[in-house]
Amino acid sequence: MSLCSGTAVITDCLVVCVTGECEPTMATTDDTNGVNNGIDNTYGDDNGLRSASVTTSGGNKRDVTTQLIHRCADHHNSTAIKRAKLGNACVATTAQLSTPCACTASQSRAVSSDAIQRSTQTEDIVCDMDLTNSNCNSIANNKHTNSHPCDGGDNGLDSWLKTFYNWSHNERIQALDSLVSSDICEVQQIRHLLTLIEPQLQRDFISLLPKELALYVLSFLDPKDLLRAAQTCRYWRILCEDNLMWRDKCREERLLEDNETIVDLFKRRLSGSLERRRSSLLRCSTPTSPPHSNSCSPKMSPSSPVSPTPTFIRSEYKIAFLRQKTIEYNWRYGVLSTEKESATTSGRSRLLKEILYLKGHDDHVITCLQFNPASNLIVSGSDDNTLKVWSSESGRCLRTLSGHTGGVWSSQLSPHDIIISGSTDRTLKVWSALDGKCLHTLYGHTSTVRCMALHEDQVVSGSRDATLRVWDIETGECCHVLVGHVAAVRCVQFNGKLCVSGAYDYLVKVWDVVSETCLHTLEGHTNRVYSLQFDGQHIVSGSLDTSIRVWSATAGTLKHTLIGHQSLTSGMQLRGHTLVSGNADSTVKVWDINTGQCLQTLSGPNKHQSAVTCLQFNSRFVITSSDDGTVKLWDLRTGEFIRNLVSLSSGGSGGVVWRIRASNTKLVCAVGSRNGTEETKLLVLDFDVVDNKYIKYDETDSMFDMESEFDANRDNLILL
């Protein structure tokens, strides 16, 4: 046997060489068997001293933690017999340990100098008891009196906590894992841990942030999640009502253009009745509305500086957003009621307002149709020589405008409800829609006034006499005459400075109105030009030659020729870079005028069965009408058929839809027949919110569920 020049320490069952180096010896290992056996019996560890004396087998701190946990468990669970065995083991080895540490050859091989250094670092953990200054009796007495380092004091819990504090993150995780996942802790102790941990995980991080940062975080939520977050607590609800944040959501959903304000949004989106009640919806007094919760979390208190206050203000943009989503849902699924229908429906469908039937013009053809959503006025022109002014709210005919001596074939309606009509009697008339008076009769054309375009207080008229005339509707004077076409002018567009005309001479002309000069003559069509669109930069022309051509308005050059239709392009609408065209071949196509590509063809088994007569689209939907007596709703983005909005019983046997005009909430259709199978009339379909009730949405409809905003019942309507 050789001696170890160092100090050996023992804590309960742990025997460790703290310092010094061991020299090899030929002695046996019987000297330490007693200690080893004592450890085996006490902790149930079949690895003996190798496992318990962790610092002699690598110095892993997790093992040290495990060692201390077992020591604490021994303090609570070991029997007197186990303690006696441990005491006897200590007595058996005291004679050797009281002298300079005697290490066997097998032990010296297991203990490296690195492990001995780590043993020194963990001296606080294993309790610094120098056996050279103690005796076996004191150790045995300590065992039998149940003293334990974990009971407190500098040699127990405090030392362990200090060591735990100095450990790295991974080491702490390992220690906690050993503590909880083992059988050391009882159920009650684990439950106690939960009561300590749960409050730490329930902190309201939003309320702890400055308001600007909190709003920035919330701005990444989609509208659906914002509505759910608003139910968390009162402070979150106030943050989720931020007007600027909802303005951005409106723009993301393309409900608001970049240069629009909330005033523009309400004027464009809301009906007059709701706009008048808007102010009463925007503010709610807190005293009359109990808050959702007194706090966001246990960490918040009523006196918290982030606790909100007095008056709760709703976001105007949020109201507009929710309203618009409800309206979109109504377009897709709303059931149009009649007087005899029940007031309730089942499933995803929701009952809408009654369809209005506006009967007039006898059995004549309705040739032109205008609708002003702001004033709820509808103006219809017919080949019976009259125009009629209707209320889209009540369905009543407010007045009949008589004065033309020929059929009315074109009309315009100004934002101020001034009506301009063109007739086969070669005149234009200016009317007041409010009182029905004829303000001016404009003479000058020598043939039928077939088309016109209005911009502010000027109107440009195109006639079968091959000329265009610019009129001042306030004074009734003819300001300019544009001469250049050699055949009837069929379509015209006007932006106040430039005028674009298409004619039966196969030409499209660009005019400077003030100088009365033709800037460009766009040649390329091989048949009559029937339709035009002009946005200031691009000109789009549709012809009987089946093609659609895209031109540069400034350079007068051809950019794209859109091929795909098989017949006359009867109607088009341009919005941004998206063009939708309707054709006599019964199809509707969606184009990108920047690339010239056809994005969608609205056809399939639900396509129209006859020529498309009219169309209109917005950022979500395309509405089309046809000679087959139907009005169809399509998804603009996917090109999918959604449903029939109108389907005449006489469709296919003479019933036709001549014209349609749509606003955000209403659809006006002019229907009839040429053979007497369908009575001439207007249909008004209203998709507005019924009694201000807001319908919740289903995620499967690529919309979202509103139940988190106001009500937990999925089948109920929600009222602001």
Q: What is the mean pLDDT of the chain?
A: 75
Q: Which residue has the tokens 């602001």?
A: 720
- Same domain assignment for residues 146 and 17: yes
Q: What's residue 469's pLDDT?
A: 98
- Same domain assignment for residues 89 and 181: yes
Q: What's residue 268's pLDDT?
A: 52
Residue 712 burial (10 A CB sphere; 0-12, 13-18, 19+): exposed
- Same domain assignment for residues 144 and 259: no
What confidence tier does 114 reach under pLDDT thresholds 50, 70, 90?
A: very low
Contact partners, residue 510, CB within 8 Å, separation at least 6: 498, 499, 500, 518, 519, 520, 521, 522, 539, 553, 556
pLDDT at 125 over 60: no
Give the domain-ending residue among 164, 196, 228: 196
Tokens of 236: 């979150």
What is residue 69's three-state secondary structure?
Answer: helix
What confidence tier does 589 reach under pLDDT thresholds 50, 70, 90?
A: very high
- Condensed to tens digits (0 to 9), the pLDDT of residues 252-293 reads 887 776 555 655 555 555 444 444 444 444 443 333 333 333
Neighbours of 560 (CB within 10 A): 18
Shortest CA distance to 696 belongs to which of 325, 213, 165, 223?
A: 325
Number of domains, the chain: 2
- Same domain assignment for residues 35 and 151: yes
| Segment of 77-81, 327-331, 560-564 carrying the highest mean pLDDT | 560-564
Task: Calculate mean pLDDT across residues 664-678.
Answer: 92
- Same domain assignment for residues 167 and 255: no
- Same domain assignment for residues 102 and 211: no
Note whether residue 471 is domain-resident.
no
Give the domain-ending residue among 270, 292, 327: 327
Note whether residue 613 is domain-resident.
no
Q: What's residue 92's pLDDT?
A: 38
Tokens of 336: 């149009």
Q: Which residues pair with 368 in a beta bridge?
A: 381
CATH number, position 294: 1.20.1280.50
Quote the CA–CA distance of 360 and 387 in Å, as a whole number: 10
- Same domain assignment for residues 8 and 142: yes
The DSSP line for 227-285 is HHHTTS-HHHHHHTT-HHHHHHHHHHTTSS-TT--HHHHHHHHS-HHHHHHHHHHHEE-
- Same domain assignment for residues 287 and 233: yes
Note whether residue 403 is domain-resident.
no
- Condensed to tens digits (0 to 9), the pLDDT of residues 432-478 reads 999 999 999 999 999 999 999 999 999 999 999 999 999 999 999 99
pLDDT at 154 over 80: no
Note whether residue 353 is domain-resident.
no
Give the domain-ending residue among 196, 221, 237: 196
Note whether residue 339 is domain-resident.
no
- Per the model's pLDDT, the better-predicted residue between 278 and 165 turns out to be 165
Note whether residue 117 is domain-resident.
yes
82 with 41: CB under 8 angstroms?
Answer: yes
Note whether residue 270 is domain-resident.
yes
What φ, ψ does residue 224 adopt, rounded to 5°? -60, -45
What φ, ψ does residue 179 adopt, rounded to 5°? -70, -45
- Same domain assignment for residues 106 and 46: yes
Tokens of 581: 């065209």
- Same domain assignment for residues 157 and 306: no
Q: Considering just the CA atoms, what is the radius of gyration of the chain in Å?
A: 44
Q: What range defines the domain where residue 252 resides?
A: 205-327
Tokens of 145: 């009196």
- Same domain assignment for residues 35 and 99: yes
Instruction: Calculate what percentage of the chain has a pLDDT beyond 90.
Output: 49
Quote the CA–CA distance of 3 and 526 in Å, as a whole number: 114
- Condensed to tens digits (0 to 9), the pLDDT of residues 624-651 reads 999 999 999 999 999 999 999 999 999 8
Region of poorest pLDDT, from 84-98, 222-236, 416-430, 617-631: 84-98
Quote the CA–CA distance of 703 and 623 in Å, as a whole number: 20
499 with 493: CB under 8 angstroms?
Answer: yes
Handedness of CA 238, 243, 245, 250 (dihedral sign): positive
Handedness of CA 423, 427, 433, 434 (dihedral sign): negative
Instruction: Calculate what percentage of the chain has a pLDDT beyond 70.
Output: 64
- Condensed to tens digits (0 to 9), the pLDDT of residues 320-376 reads 888 888 999 999 998 876 534 444 444 556 678 889 999 999 989 999 999 999 999
Note whether residue 244 is domain-resident.
yes
- Same domain assignment for residues 154 and 28: yes
pLDDT at 549 over 80: yes
388 with 397: CB under 8 angstroms?
Answer: yes
